[in-house]
Amino acid sequence: MIDLHQIERRTYTHGPTALVQLERFSLAIGQGAGPNIYIKRDDELGLIGGGNKTRKLEFIFAQALHQCADTIITCGAVQSNSCRATASAARIEGLACRLALEQRVPNSYDPKASGNNFLYQLLGVEKQNVVDAGNDMNSIMATMADQARHEGRNPYVMPLGAGTPLGALGYVNGANEIMAQAQQIGIQFDAVIHASGGSGGTQSGLLVGFSESKDSPRVIGICSGADKITQQQRVHRLVQGTFDLLMLPPTVSLKNIVCNDDYVGPGYSLPTPLMAEAVQLLARTEGVLLDPVYSGKAMAGLIDLVRQGQFTPDQNILFLHTGGVPAIYHYKDDVMLHL
Ligand SMILES: *Cc1c(COP(=O)(O)O)cnc(C)c1O
């Protein structure tokens, strides 16, 4: 395991998240001939609504506090889980939070929307700077940081989805937690399947985290928006950066990074029938909610790969639930599609 003890970290979750078997769900999709499916409940991490950003933010906020920042500036889509988790962590640490929000779907910003948008307001986000798709979000955040400095603030800018090597350490830590739990229950995972999104940090962190273990599972990232080549390159860059940060030799090559873009459908955050089926099936067999933008499409991928016969009945597959549940209330018509 990669030792992270030397690196400053805040803690936003009490103890490890649950890792449990999904017996009824495995039976429903594999009909007795499928693999054993487990779930890692990172939707139950700390910060309102949990999700994968919480692990990343533990390292990011430690750095921001070290730099005596008083204002966090970050960006995301209009229903960003990352922005909501950041706003929540900012409150815990007593910092202000300002957001740059990108309308990836034209006119998708609605100040009265529920889900994460409502939570930005409830958490008292100081500024929401809404821009159209295609803007350079880093330069918009740089301008917001200049403005904050002008006001006498000391801003810390966090790139999209905490997609830096420091943020990726969150999932090096996550991989360590998974390996310890697998050992505890006495199994080995053949594959870990999860949503791979705009920063690629989750997949990068997992790949680095598993890289030192000899029986490391295959990591399968299901794209939430990007095509697979773009995503593979994005993950590769961040893998390299993360190895650099840890001062370790880079042992994960581009060809070993698996990204699957078969389940994106018409585009980022747009619904697909298989996503709706996945969300409904997991809710009705296990009482666990998925979100329509990320984890629902990732689970659609898992279901389809099982149906294609990609796994044998003796294999153990881990679904990493990356969160996003607060957004489900905003997208209720999408997940009830084709009922
Ligand atoms: C942000 C997000 C992702 C994507 O995370 P990456 O580390 O950028 O791949 C996946 N799932 C949910 C629910 C998210 O909010």
Q: Which residues pair with 75 in a beta bridge?
A: 100
80: annotated active-site residue = yes
Q: How far is the CA of 52 from the centre of ligand 1 (A)?
A: 6
For a ligand 1 pocket test, name from 199, 257, 261, 302 the mutation site with the most ligand atoms within 8 angstroms of its C-beta.
199
Q: Cα of 32 to ligand 1 centre, how many Å?
A: 31
Residue with CA nearest ligand 1 atom 4: 197
> Using a 6 Å cutoff on CB, does residue 49 contact ligand 1?
no
Confidence of residue 338 (pLDDT cuts 50, 70, 90): low
Question: Residue 150 Cα, ligand 1 centroid: separation in angstroms?
Answer: 33
pLDDT attached to residue 337: 77
The whole-chain average pLDDT of the chain stands at: 96
Ligand 1 within 6 A of 294 CB?
yes
| Centroid of ligand 1 to alpha carbon of 113 (angstroms) | 21
State how far Cα 234 lies from the chain centre: 14
Asked if residue 177 has pLDDT above 90, the reply is: yes
Q: Is the pLDDT confidence value at 339 over 60?
A: no
**pLDDT tens, residue by residue, 26-85:** 999 988 888 999 999 999 999 998 999 999 999 999 999 999 999 999 999 999 999 999
- Whether pLDDT at 215 is above 90: no
pLDDT of residue 89: 98
Quote the radius of gyration of the chain (alpha carbons, Å): 19
Percent of the chain with pLDDT over 70: 99
Atom of ligand 1 nearest to the CA of 203: 9
Task: Tell me the per-residue pLDDT of 69-125, one tens digit each, with 9 for 90 and over.
Answer: 999 999 999 999 999 999 999 999 999 999 999 998 889 899 999 999 999 999 999
Which residue among 80, 88, 199, 269 is the active-site one?
A: 80
Taking alpha carbons only, the member of 34, 28, 21 closest to residue 308 is 34
Q: Which residue has the tokens 């100040």?
A: 111
Q: Which atom of ligand 1 is nearest to the CA of 199?
A: 8
Please give the distance, rounded to the nearest whole angstrom, from the Cα atom of residue 197 to the centre of ligand 1. 5
Query: Which residues have CB under 8 Å from 116's CB, separation 6+?
Result: 49, 79, 80, 81, 83, 84, 326, 327, 330
Q: Which domains does the chain have, with CATH numbers?
A: 19-51+164-337 (3.40.50.1100), 53-162 (3.40.50.1100)
Is the CB of residue 79 below 6 angstroms from any atom belonging to ligand 1? Answer: no
Pocket flag, ligand 1, residue 209 (CB < 6 Å)? no
How far apart CA 62 and CA 84 sit, in angstroms, is: 18
Ligand 1 within 6 A of CB of 319: no
Contact between residue 86 and residue 74 where contact means Cβ atoms under 8 Å apart: yes
pLDDT digits (tens, 9 = 90+) for 152-168: 999 999 999 999 999 99
Kindly give the distance from the C-alpha atom of residue 194 to the centroid of ligand 1, in angstroms, as a whole number: 9
- Best residue for ligand 1 mutational test, from 39, 45, 224, 259 (most atoms within 8 Å of Cβ): 224
State the pLDDT at residue 332. 87
Of the pLDDT bands very low, low, confident and very high (cuts 50, 70, 90), residue 232 is very high
Burial of 73 (0-12, 13-18, 19+ CB in 10 A): buried
3-state class (DSSP) for residue 236: helix
What residue owns the CA closest to ligand 1's atom 2?
197
Question: Which residue in the block uniquely carries the two structure tokens 């692990």?
Answer: 55
Comparing 337 with 40, the larger pLDDT belongs to 40
- Separation of CA 261 and ligand 1 centre (Å): 15
Per residue in 237-283, pLDDT (tens digit) is 999 999 999 999 999 999 999 999 999 999 999 999 999 999 999 99
Q: What mean pLDDT do residues 177-182 have? A: 98
pLDDT of the residue at 104: 86
User: So what's the pLDDT on residue 331?
Assistant: 87
Is the model's pLDDT at 150 over the cut of 90? yes
CA 198 to ligand 1: nearest atom: 8
Strands (E), 60-175: 71-77, 96-103, 127-132, 155-158
Tell me if 291 CB under 6 Å of ligand 1. yes
